[in-house]
Amino acid sequence: MQERDFFSRIEQKKLDFIIVVAYGSLLSEKILNLPKYMSLNVHASLLPRWRGAAPIQRSIINGDQITGVSIMKVDKELDAGPVILKRKVRILSNDNSGKIHDKLSNLGAHLLINAIKKICSGKYSCENQDSSKVTYAKKIKKIETKINWENSADYNHKIIRAFNPWPGAWTYMNQKKRFRIKILESEIVEMSSSDFKNAKPGFCSDSLLVKCNDKLIQIKKIQKEGKKPMTSSEFINGYKPESCLLD
C-alpha cells in the first residue's frame, strides 16, 4: 500500500493513538502526527540500550542480566523517541529468547495500558534518551546461528539460548550420514574427563557431550532437520549416535 493511501485510511479513522510493536519500518512524521494524543512504540529493551531489530537476542548474547520494556513516543529515527515508561525484568540463567519474549509481552501490554491512561489524563512525562548510552541490536544474520565449537562454552550456550525458538543455533553431526541439527537447550559442564582433553573442539560423545575450547556443552534438547524437537535421551535412544565431530 502506498503511503498516500495509508495516510488517507488512517486519517479517516480519527485515531486517538497509533501503537507500534516490533515494526521494522519507519513511519513518516505526517503519519506519526495524525493521532489525537500520540504515536507510541512498545520496545523490548531498556532504551537507549538495544535499539533495533533483535533486542532480546542481543541482550542474551551480550550476557545482560537485566532487560525490560520501554514505552516511547515514536520519533522519525529508529527507536530514538523520548521514553514515557519502562520496567525491568531479570534474565535468568535458563531463559531463552522465547521465555523472555513471553515475559516482556505480558509486561508490555500492562505497561502500554498504564501509559495510555497517563497520557489521556495529562499526567505523564517524557525522558529523552541519553545518546551516549545508545547500543544497537542488529538483525540476526544466518552466519551467526551456526555454532563454532572453537568458541567458549559460555558463548555457545548463550547462542543456543538466544536463538531458541527462532531461528535456532545449528551444527552438522557426522554419523554414517552427515546431517544438520539444531541445539535447543544446553548446559555448561566442566572438562574433567581425560577423554575430552586431547580431543578437538566439536568432539561429541555418544551421550551428546560436546567439547568447546575451554569446557563442555551438554546437549539437553535437540532437533534433527525435518524432525520434531526431542530430549537428548530420546535422541540417543532413537538414533544411537556414535562419538563424532560436530562442525
Q: What is the pLDDT of residues 112-130, one digit of tens each?
A: 999 999 999 999 999 999 9
Task: Phi first, then psi: give them for residue 13, nearest 5 degrees.
Answer: -75, -20
At 202 the pLDDT is: 97
144 falls in which pLDDT band (50, 70, 90)? very high
With pLDDT > 70 as the criterion, what percentage of the chain qualifies? Answer: 98
Q: Any residues with CB less than 8 A from the CB of 147 and at least 6 apart, and which?
A: 156, 159, 160, 169, 170, 171, 183, 246
pLDDT at position 12: 83
This prediction's pTM = 0.94
Domain 142-245, what fold?
Methionyl-tRNA Fmet Formyltransferase; Chain A, domain 2 (3.10.25)
Superfamily (CATH) of domain 3-137: Formyl transferase, N-terminal domain (3.40.50.170)
pLDDT band at 3 (very low <50, low <70, confident <90, very high): low
* Omega before 48 within 30 of 0, i.e. cis: yes
Task: Say which range, 26-40, 152-166, 212-226, has the weakest mean pLDDT.
Answer: 26-40
Q: How many whole angstroms separate alpha carbon 53 and alpha carbon 45? A: 11
d(CA 80, CA 136): 11
| Span 11-53, pLDDT tens digits | 888 899 999 998 878 888 988 999 999 999 999 999 999 999 9
Show me where the domains of the chain are located: 3-137, 142-245
